[in-house]
A and B are shown apart, each in its own frame.
Chain A
Amino acid sequence: GAVVSQHPSRVICKSGTSVKIECRSLDFQATTMFWYRQFPKQSLMLMATSNEGSKATYEQGVEKDKFLINHASLTLSTLTVTSAHPEDSSFYICSARQPTQVRTYEQYFGPGTRLTVT
C-alpha cells in the first residue's frame, strides 16, 4: 500500500516551453503533498506544500508564478514549470501524506521526474 506515482518519469523540453508533472497517490487519499527538487549530490529541497482544495504554500525563494502547483483532488497534484530555462533542469520528486495518519512523520515519495531543459 501507500504508492505514489509520478508522470512523466523523464522529460526533455525546449527553453521557453512549459512542462506539467503529475503526482498521484494510487491507493490512498492525500490531503497534503510536498514537491521537492533535487540537484545532483545535493539535498532534497522543499519547494512547496500542497493541500487539497487550497493554494500551495511556497518556500522562500521559490517563484510561485513559475512553479504552478494545483492540488485538484485527494489523489492528484500537478507541478507546472512555466517558461522553463536550462537552470530549471533538475530531479523533481513529490511525496504524499494520508489525512488520518497517526505517524505524521511518514510521507510516501514518488519515483521522481527528471526534467532537462535544452
Chain B
Amino acid sequence: QLQLQESGPGLVRPSETLSLTCTVSDGSISSRSYYWGWIRQPPGKGLEWIGSIYYSGSTYYNESLKSRVTMSVDTPKNQFSLRLNSVTAADTAVYYCARSLGGYCRGGRCSPGWFDPWGHGTLVTVSS
C-alpha cells in the first residue's frame, strides 16, 4: 500500500526558507495517473492547499503562496519537495504531503483531484 513520509527541519527562522521532502514508498511517483500535493494546517485551524506537482514537473500553486513556493520532483529517488521562502510565524503549521487523483480531465490530460493517502505530517515552527 502506497505510503508517504515527510521529512525536513522542524524549526525555521523568520525570513529563511522552509524545505520539506516527501518520500513515496510502495508505489511510483512517475505514475501518469497521479499528482502529488502539499497541504498545511496551522495549529488549531483548518486545511490549506499549497500546491500540486506532476511527475513531469508541471505544477499548480495556491495563488496566495505562489510568489514564495517552489515544488520539484526527483523521480529516481521517488521524492517530491516543497520550498517556501521568506517564512513568517504565519507559516507555522503541520505540513502534509499526499497523493492526488481524480481531477478534471480534458484532451487526455488530467488535473489534480482529491487527496489520498496522506503522509503523517510534520510540524514546522517558524521562530527565532
A and B from one complex = no
* B residues whose Cβ falls under 8 Å from a Cβ of A: none
